[in-house]
Chain A
Amino acid sequence: MLKFTAEHEWLQIDGDVATVGITRHAAEQLGDLVFVELPDVGASFSKGDDAATVESVKAASEVYCPLDGEITEVNEAITADPSLVNSDPQGAGWFFKLRLANRADADALLDEAAYLESIA
């Protein structure tokens, strides 16, 4: 199941684990990324907490945790090469995997059509 947030994150939800990244629209708005900082595996976040940081040449931006949960895996490939987020934001440029505290919370997120409409 693919879901989106108004803060321009996508979640690919498989069971109770969500793979999280930023949308193509967000990557385009940020421009070429030069630095990514990911959370520690095992860290727990509430919805809306700062979970990761992305930086372009000119500015730093936070990536918010889209739902309550615990980080089970992070994508070290994007810390080694932040440009992956720009070239494949909704694929190889994923950020982290989140074990959802409440699987049902995901139902309230946007579906793709609603998200695309929100940025149109």
Chain B
Amino acid sequence: MNDQPELKQTPLHALHLALGARMVPFAGYDMPVQYPAGVLKEHLHTRHSAGLFDVSHMGQVVVRPRSGNIADAALALESLVPADILGLPEGRQRYGFFTDDSGGILDDLMIANRGDHLFVVVNAACKEADVEHMRRHIGDRCEITLLDNRALLALQGPHAVAVLAELWSDVASMRFMDAAECLLHDQPCIVTRSGYSGEDGFELSLPVSYAEDVAKRLLEHPDVQPVGLGARDSLRLEAGLCLYGNDIDRGTSPVEAGLEWAIQKVRRRGGARAGGFPGAERILDELEHGATRRRVGLKPDGKAPVRPPAALFADAEGNEEIGRVTSGGFGPSADGPIAMGYVPTDKAAPGTRLYAEVRGKYLPLTVTSLPFVTPGYKR
């Protein structure tokens, strides 16, 4: 029956089919792009209530210090990631990225301090390479384990906290980017108050054996609907969040991408642990002096969506190409087309007028600050 036998399946694959999902290949997995409600309604439901996403394709990795001292794992990972990981308290999570020697981005990731180890979540398409990268560079100091026996669910939206609290755990006291162990079905799971939708919400890492039970229990709640990759993409775009492979990759530096906020002071020049990660010279230079180009938000004047890789121009005649759109489409909550792309720094100020080539026409758009919608994070 399976006409693409090479595709991997998540533990919720049968549930997706039972829910009537339309499945597409994504990062080597057969994944739900949408359910019968459709991308538009799934997106809006997440913004107003709560959406359940299967993100089990993503890589869940345990980085355990061979010395038994978590600080050694933090310092080891800091040699690959320009973030303050040593200063990340137990029970807290932080965003970061692996950089390469030329200052590009190998992948972006979430890092949680779990007391005796670091729990890392990486992109599906990069997970094998990330594990190999960590083993090669910090394998002497840390045991790197890609967990293949766990599912990852995301429950996102303003009702997520009430739903989760009603069913199982007292998660209401968690703050944005807290990481805790909670009981779901009397089984310990790793719960983080985070996600990639721009809403308040949680990610639940749980053993494969009862992932479907937990998902079904959540879906029985009247406030919860299943949400596919289509709406996951439009939600993160409205939230101004980068999609690895589109908005960031080895050809973009963290400063070009506007991700300076993820490089804490202690890792910058003058900080106690400045540099010491791949590409540090370029990245630290750019932190001080700026990059020559910048990721910006783009708001088309008209109703036509502007999608990647549309060329961006400084003039309405299409003479001077200055950059490319890296993400773009229709924002259901923004109620119009929205996009992100890279432009020279002197054209990156909000309010700058630019043009995008769409089907042979040059459509006017305006550089705008990100995100496109107000985030609902509970800080």
Contact = CB atoms under 8 A, between A and B. Distances in A.
Interface of A: 31-32, 34-35, 37, 53, 55-58, 60
Interface string B356-370: 000100000000000
Interface residues of B, number: 20
Nearest to B305: A55
Contact of B230 (A35, A57, A60): A57
B15 interface: no
B303 A57 contact: no
A57 B234 contact: yes
B30 interface: no
Given A31-B34, A34-B330, A35-B330, A57 B304 contact: no
A34 B304 CA distance: 9
Interface string B198-232: 00000000000000000000000000000000110
B233 interface: yes
Contacts of A55: 304-305, 330
Contacts of A37: 304, 359
A32 B38 contact: yes
A57 B359 contact: no
B40 A60 contact: no
Contact of A34 (B231, B233, B305, B359): B305
Contacts of A53: 359
B41 interface: yes
Q: From B230, B305, B359, name the one whose CB has the most chain A CB atoms within 10 angstroms.
A: B305
A60 B330 CA distance: 10
Nearest to B42: A57
Q: From A31, A34, A56, A57, name the one whose CB has the most chain B CB atoms within 10 angstroms.
A: A57
B39 A32 contact: yes
Nearest to B331: A57
Contacts of A32: 38-41
Contacts of B337: 35
Interface in B218-253: 230-231, 233-234
Given A31-B34, A34-B330, A57 B307 contact: no
16 contacts: A31-B34, A31-B38, A31-B40, A32-B38, A34-B332, A35-B303, A37-B304, A37-B359, A55-B330, A57-B40, A57-B43, A57-B230, A57-B231, A58-B39, A58-B230, A60-B305
Contacts of B305: 34-35, 55, 60
